[in-house]
């Protein structure tokens, strides 16, 4: 990058690193440099903890965010960092800068442009101990922590802090703990399984506990019946409606048997597998995607019978899988991914050819 920067007008590559979201497109750069710059753009927000990198930037970085600013006179007067222009309330008033740095009155236009950029970013001077270590590192401080350790520490800290509450609620209901990586892997697999945004949305609704189940409705409307509308016996929590209700357990048992018959493997009949798609590592990957389609068809059918005591039937699930199959076949043609489609749906096609009208 240093060699390429030497050939770039004004040596602007390092300055563009400070450009934040207004990262410039550089068509003339080598692909490796573009890739490095994109990596920088994508990963720095993880380390900034809602701060703007401009806090640690040299003054010239402002020029990377706009094309109509001249900073030579400001640099000559000894203002080398953006932080020098800031107070806890925002940018310093122009008369204060004239007094402090002997800035010329003719720099008023530049001052207004600088003010505009800083206001757009919403940054202000912060107490040094409130700034994340990454910003300190960018300012050339904190020499004892090496950059790689700093990145790992920050990422580990964020994982601890940012586990969403819906994950904790599921873990508390199931009495199990899943590392956040397992949650993310389950989400990734579900996204990869289908072209259908509807399927992804249904998965999110369940995992993020969006459904208005009887217990939630009773909380919103005190006095309303909080019992399950299937068995009329137990509290109608999300976990009960989708998993422990006696009306649903039979259906899940049938789905488990169906998966075994189609795929030839036994998917563990546990709520983390069937509801959250957190599968054991031992499950062959080629079977996971069809399993997800089958589970999503079942969960969509349960949601379709919302507030009804009737339970979805196995033929209904098979019909939904037929529709999903037809949709995925069409989508694979549009996206030129027929070979992937054939691998994922082969077991289902064979099963339907063998027993087109009989179900199990």
Q: Would you say 231 or 257 has its CB closer to Zn ion?
A: 231
- Closest-CA residue to 323 (of 194, 237, 186, 231): 194
Question: The tokens 């007094």 sit on which residue?
Answer: 99
Tell me the sheet residues that pair with 227. 235
Cite the beta strand spans of 195-269 per DSSP E: none
Q: Would you say 20 or 214 has its CB closer to Zn ion?
A: 214
Q: Would you say 86 or 228 has its CB closer to Zn ion?
A: 228
Q: Torsions phi, psi of 194, nearest 5?
A: -135, 155
Q: Would you say 247 or 329 has its CB closer to Zn ion?
A: 247
- Closest-CA residue to 69 (of 77, 57, 60): 60
Q: Would you say 234 or 314 has its CB closer to Zn ion?
A: 234
| Least gap, CB of 247 to Zn ion (angstroms) | 6
Cβ count near 214 (within 10 Å): 21
| Least gap, CB of 326 to Zn ion (angstroms) | 33
- Closest-CA residue to 295 (of 330, 251, 347, 353): 251
Q: Would you say 172 or 233 has its CB closer to Zn ion?
A: 233
- Closest-CA residue to 236 (of 211, 203, 202): 211
Q: Would you say 186 or 228 has its CB closer to Zn ion?
A: 228
| Least gap, CB of 245 to Zn ion (angstroms) | 3
| Least gap, CB of 242 to Zn ion (angstroms) | 10
Alpha-carbon distances of 339 from 259, 347, 348, 350, 353, rounded to whole Å? 22, 14, 15, 16, 19
Write each residue from 171 to 210 as x if it is in contact with Zn ion (CB under 5 A), else as -, in one continuous string. ----------------------------------------
Residue numbers 130-169 binding Zn ion by CB under 5 A: none
Write each residue from 221 to 260 as x if it is in contact with Zn ion (CB under 5 A), else as -, in one continuous string. -------x-xx--x----------x---------------
| Least gap, CB of 298 to Zn ion (angstroms) | 16
| Least gap, CB of 231 to Zn ion (angstroms) | 3
d(CA 238, CA 223): 19
Alpha-carbon distances of 9 from 14, 22, 28, 80, rounded to whole Å? 12, 19, 11, 21
Q: Would you say 57 or 228 has its CB closer to Zn ion?
A: 228
Size, binding site for Zn ion by CB under 5 A: 5
Q: What is the DSSP letter of 5?
A: H
| Least gap, CB of 211 to Zn ion (angstroms) | 14
- Closest-CA residue to 37 (of 19, 63, 58, 62): 19
Residues that bind Zn ion (CB under 5 A): 228, 230-231, 234, 245
């Amino acid at each position: 990058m240093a060699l390429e920067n030497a050939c770039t007008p004004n040596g602007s590559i390092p300055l563009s690193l400070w450009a934040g979201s207004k990262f410039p497109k550089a068509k003339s750069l080598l692909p490796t440099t573009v890739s490095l710059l994109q990596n920088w753009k994508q990963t720095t927000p993880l380390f900034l903890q809602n701060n703007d990198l401009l806090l640690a930037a040299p003054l010239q970085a402002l020029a990377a965010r706009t094309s109509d600013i001249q900073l030579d006179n400001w640099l000559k007067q000894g203002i080398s960092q953006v932080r020098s222009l800031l107070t806890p309330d925002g940018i310093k008033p122009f008369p204060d800068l004239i007094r402090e740095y002997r800035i010329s009155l003719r720099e008023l236009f530049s001052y207004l442009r600088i003010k505009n950029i800083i206001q757009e970013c919403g940054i202000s001077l912060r107490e040094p101990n409130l700034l994340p270590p990454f910003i300190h590192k960018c300012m050339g401080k904190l020499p004892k922590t090496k950059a790689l350790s700093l990145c790992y520490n920050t990422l580990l800290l964020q994982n601890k802090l940012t586990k969403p509450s819906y994950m904790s609620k599921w873990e508390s209901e199931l009495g199990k703990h899943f590392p956040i990586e397992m949650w993310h892997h389950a989400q990734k697999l579900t996204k990869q399984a289908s072209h259908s945004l509807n399927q992804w949305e249904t998965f999110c609704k369940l995992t993020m506990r969006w459904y208005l189940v009887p217990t939630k409705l009773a909380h919103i409307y005190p006095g309303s019946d909080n019992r399950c509308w299937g068995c009329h016996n137990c509290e109608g929590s999300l976990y009960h409606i989708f998993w422990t209700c006696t009306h649903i357990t039979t259906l899940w048992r049938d789905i488990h048997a169906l998966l075994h018959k189609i795929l030839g493997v036994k998917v563990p009949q546990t709520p983390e597998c069937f509801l959250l798609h957190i599968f054991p590592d031992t499950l062959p990957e080629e079977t996971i995607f069809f399993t997800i389609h089958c589970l999503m068809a079942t969960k969509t059918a349960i949601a379709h019978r919302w507030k009804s005591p009737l339970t979805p039937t196995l033929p209904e699930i098979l019909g939904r899988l037929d529709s999903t199959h037809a949709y995925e076949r069409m989508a694979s043609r549009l996206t030129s991914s027929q070979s992937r489609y054939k691998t994922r749906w082969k077991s289902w096609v064979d099963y339907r050819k063998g027993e087109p009208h009989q179900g199990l």
